[in-house]
Amino acid sequence: MENSCGNSRIVGCSFSVHPMSDQFVSYIKTSLQEVDTSKVWMHTDDVTTTVRGRMEHVFDVTKAILLHIAKTEVHVAFQGTFSIGCPGDSSGDVYMDETTERMNEAETRDIQQYIAAKFSLYPMGGGNYMDTIYSQIEAMKEKGVTVSPAHYSTRLEGDTHDIFSGLEDVFRETENSGSSHTVMTVTVSANSPTHKEKKS
Amino acid sequence: MENSCGNSRIVGCSFSVHPMSDQFVSYIKTSLQEVDTSKVWMHTDDVTTTVRGRMEHVFDVTKAILLHIAKTEVHVAFQGTFSIGCPGDSSGDVYMDETTERMNEAETRDIQQYIAAKFSLYPMGGGNYMDTIYSQIEAMKEKGVTVSPAHYSTRLEGDTHDIFSGLEDVFRETENSGSSHTVMTVTVSANSPTHKEKKS
């Protein structure tokens, strides 16, 4: 459980992607072949996949997996829990030495994908984070993301790149504000039947 | 965000179920018709469904929705965030007056369904919860649930009823231990291709 948090600044994300299709295995495998995961520790079991490493690579890889599935136009849901400050072990620490260049940015940059998302931020370790969060949400709005309140979360609608960069920013700035252990949950729906009229 | 938590003891769960099938809409709609949601406030949008009410009814309804889909043998994932102590509004408060009798227990009692799950507990509001959590995990093991550590979570394997009653117990006891705001995330996989050999 959450009782012994280490000092490593490694970021982890336990996530699942769910293509709503009889061919879900094929969608996932094809996406994974297209994503460069060389800069993150990665492990998959029957419930979730966990990636761990530098913050930018964790967001880069999770976004790329989502985009490579969503670009096929299948309805896909993504659910991820991003965590920093409670690594639990050191098996991924070697990945903290990777360079900052994002391995999937060039491949995914041109994939335009509308998504609806909800996120919740749980700063477990103090810090002066409320002003930070509000200013980051304002920054998301300026990028063109639609932000609205939802039960137990904040709702975001817009392009996948804008939303993921906004989520990465709010997560990083919460960390920087002094929270020793921060958790952020993100739920995404892409190509939902109810989104058809909104897609570009 | 999480800055103003009220005093209501209403429990909420924002969840998604993902049948990995071309017929995902039909699976979800059929399940919802089979579940009695009369004792909870419920709202669905394109990203999640939120149910709110007394703790026992929130767990009863979410378990029933999962089971009615899983009994069809389709591979289905469930992801839910249970929350108490930060209701955000009072629109569901009237449901706190419902009686404790669970509306879906009789219908679902005989559905045996192996699941693999991961849960994380985030007591945001203090309290002396670590001993509570450990004793509840021991209680789950005594019911026959297999418990093991996982990255950022605790892994559970076993029958759906045993796991959901264990999750409800650990959530309730954490609340009782004095945590003013408790969040628990639960991710479930049922009928995974890798589970075939484990099903009874």
What angle, 0 to 180 degrees and rounded to 10, lies between the N-to-C axes of helices A55-70 and A160-176? 160
Which pLDDT tens digit goes with each residue over A77-133?
999 999 998 656 677 888 999 999 999 999 999 999 999 999 999 888 767 777 888
- Number of folded domains in chain B? 1
| A99 part of a folded domain | no
Asked if B28 reaches chain A (Cβ–Cβ under 8 Å), the answer is no
Range of the domain at B70: 11-88+112-199
Q: What is the pTM of this model?
A: 0.92
Q: Does residue B167 fall inside a structural domain?
A: yes
Query: Phi and psi of B141, rounded to 5°?
Result: -60, -40
Is A193 domain-assigned? yes
B107-139: per-residue pLDDT in tens?
Answer: 999 999 999 999 999 888 767 777 888 888 999
Is residue B94 included in any domain, yes or no?
A: no
Question: What number is the average pLDDT over the span A145-164?
Answer: 95
Lowest mean pLDDT among A155-164, B141-150, B171-180: B171-180
How far apart, in Å, are the Cα atoms of B64 and each of A156, B33, B76, B79? 29, 11, 13, 14
With beta carbons less than 8 A apart as the criterion, state whether B142 and B102 touch: no
Residues contacting residue A87 through CB under 8 Å, at least 6 positions apart:
A5, A6, A8, A10, A12, A52, A93
Q: What are phi and psi of A103, to 5 degrees?
A: -80, -15
Please write the tens of the pLDDT for every residue from B47-86. Answer: 999 999 999 999 999 999 999 999 999 999 999 999 998 7
Query: What's the token pair of residue B91?
Result: 């629109």
Q: What is the 3-state secondary structure (H, E, C) of A22-38?
A: CCHHHHHHHHHHHCCCC
Q: Does A8 touch chain B (CB under 8 A)?
A: no
Q: Looking at residue A180, what is its pLDDT?
A: 81
pLDDT-wise least confident of A52-66, A152-166, B26-40, B87-101: B87-101
Residue A60 lies in a domain: yes
* Domain assignment present for A97: no
What is the arithmetic mean of pLDDT over A20-38?
95
**Tokens in use for B70?**
């899983």
Pairwise CB contact (< 8 Å): B47 & A188: yes
CATH of the domain at A33: 3.30.70.930
Contact A12 B152 (CB under 8 A): yes
- Between CA A21 and CA B21 the distance in angstroms is 4
**In chain A, what residues touch B151 (CB-CB under 8 Å)?**
12, 14, 43, 50, 52, 88-89
Residues A130-148, mean pLDDT to the nearest whole number: 91
**Of chain A residues 46-85, which have a CB less than 8 A from chain B?**
46-48, 50, 52, 75, 77, 79, 81, 83
Report the distance separating Cα B197 and Cα B194, nearest Å: 7
Question: Does A20 fall in a domain?
Answer: yes
DSSP one-letter string for B35-62: S--TTSEEEE-SS-EEEEE-HHHHHHHH
Cross-chain residue pair B2–A117, CB shorter than 8 Å: no
| pLDDT for position A89 | 64
As to burial, measured by CB atoms within 10 angstroms (0-12 exposed, 13-18 middle, 19+ buried), residue A179 is buried
Interface of A with B in 99-138 (CB under 8 A): 116-118, 120-122, 124, 130, 133-134
For residue A49, pLDDT over 90 is answered with: yes
For A1, the closest of B121, B151, B183 (CB atoms) is B121
Place of tokens 């700035």: A173
How far apart are the C-alpha atoms of B170 and A173, rounded to whole Å? 32
Give residue B198's pLDDT band: very low, low, confident or very high (50, 70, 90).
Answer: low
CA angle B79, A2, B17 (to 5 degrees): 0
Using a CB-CB distance cutoff of 8 angstroms, which residues of chain B are in contact with residue A24?
20, 75
Among A24, A105, A10, A21, which residue's Cα sits nearest to residue A63?
Answer: A105
Answer yes or no: is A145 a known binding residue: no
Tell me, what's the ipTM?
0.89
Long-range (24+ apart) CB contacts under 8 A made by B70-75 are B70/B111, B70/B113, B70/B115, B70/B160, B70/B190, B70/B191, B71/B111, B71/B113, B72/B27, B73/B191, B74/B19, B74/B20, B74/B21, B74/B27, B74/B191, B75/A24, B75/B19, B75/B20, B75/B21, B75/B189, B75/B190, B75/B191, B75/B192, B75/B193
DSSP string, A157-182: EEEHHHHHHHHHHHHHHHHHTT-SSE
B177–chain A Cβ distance below 8 A for any pair = no
What's the start-to-end Cα distance of chain B, in Å? 44
Question: Is A128 part of a structural domain of the chain?
Answer: yes
> Any bridge partners for residue B185, and if so which?
B81, B120
> Would the pLDDT of A159 be above 50?
yes
**pLDDT confidence bin for A6, thresholds 50/70/90:** low
Inter-chain CB proximity B153 and A14 less than 8 Å: yes
**A157, B30 Cβ separation under 8 angstroms:** no
